[in-house]
């Protein structure tokens, strides 16, 4: 709790010192006032995913796209959707083109990452973000946000892979809710929950699959008496 307070104060101090779009301030205020004791169904979530040129922003890899959708009252909200391709800041490696089918010809007329990120923040506002192995996506988003605006994401972030581990720990000996729970890939969890995955390597499609997994996880954890946002943050937050 003390660490969170110190971190918020440091963020607020930077926010006052920097000339950044207003959305940074509105997001921070909403996150600061987030009531974690609320029932999970009373919390607004944004489920998101990214595509990148590689695995490490420190080595020059960059964002290629962001896909996101709303999740409210325990349901996926397709009326609240976000998907944007990003003009890459570097040449796209051939292996990334093969994986994502995002060719330079498709991407040359797109918006730069700084513009897309501002629109993404405007879409998310202060919502709790949800993703799968989310530390990866957050690392890329924060690298770009810090480069152009000097600040990382203010939002609280949940990881469905971490939640899956938490679910495994809540089970009685010999009882496993997610078959083969040691494997926490998106495809494996989708299969375990009988979720039919659409075409992969599309950030929006992966965000949709993640949202459906999150929906099943909420149902499982509520059976274990975990129904408040703080319960989910305790087992699944990315810090």
Residue 178's pLDDT is 53
Q: Which of 45, 56, 18 is nearest to 152 (CA)?
A: 18
Range of the domain at 213: 2-236
* Contacting residues for 82 by C-beta, under 8 A, at least 6 apart: 48, 66, 67, 68, 69, 119, 120, 123, 204
CATH number at residue 30: 3.30.420.10
Per-residue pLDDT of the chain (239 residues; tens, 9 = 90+): 656 778 899 999 999 999 999 999 999 999 999 999 999 999 999 999 999 988 899 888 899 999 999 999 999 999 999 999 998 877 776 766 666 666 767 777 899 999 999 999 999 999 999 999 999 999 999 999 999 999 999 999 999 999 999 888 766 544 445 554 556 899 889 988 999 877 666 899 999 999 999 999 999 999 999 999 999 999 999 98
Residue 88's pLDDT is 83
Scored b (16 or more CB within 10 A) or e, 110-127 reads beebeebbbebbebbebb
The pTM for the full model equals 0.91
Residue 201's pLDDT is 65
Residue 201 in tokens: 């390597």
Strand pairing report for 45-52 and 128-131: parallel
Domain count within the chain: 1
Tokens 């957050």 locate to: 138
């Amino acid at each position: 709790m003390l660490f969170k307070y110190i971190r918020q104060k440091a963020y607020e101090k930077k926010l006052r010192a920097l000339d950044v779009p207003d959305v940074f301030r509105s997001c921070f205020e909403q996150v600061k006032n987030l009531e974690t004791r609320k029932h999970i169904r009373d919390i607004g979530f944004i489920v998101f995913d990214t595509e990148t040129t590689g695995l490490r922003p420190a080595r020059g890899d960059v964002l290629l796209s962001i896909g996101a959708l709303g999740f409210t009252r325990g349901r996926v909200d397709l009326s609240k959707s976000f998907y944007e391709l990003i003009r890459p800041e570097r040449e796209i490696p051939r292996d990334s083109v093969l994986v994502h089918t995002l060719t330079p010809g498709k991407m040359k007329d797109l918006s730069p990452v700084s513009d897309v990120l501002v629109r993404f923040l405007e879409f998310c506002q202060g919502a709790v973000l949800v993703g799968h192995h989310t530390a990866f996506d957050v690392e890329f988003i924060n690298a770009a946000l810090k480069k152009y605006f000097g600040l990382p994401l203010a939002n609280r972030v949940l990881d469905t892979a971490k939640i899956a581990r938490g679910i495994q720990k809540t089970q009685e000996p010999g009882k496993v809710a997610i078959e083969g729970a040691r494997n926490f890939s998106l495809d494996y969890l989708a299969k375990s929950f009988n979720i039919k995955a659409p075409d992969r390597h599309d950030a929006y499609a992966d965000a949709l699959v993640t949202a459906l997994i999150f929906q099943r996880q909420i149902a499982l954890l509520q059976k274990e008496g975990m129904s408040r946002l703080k319960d989910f943050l305790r087992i699944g937050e990315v810090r």
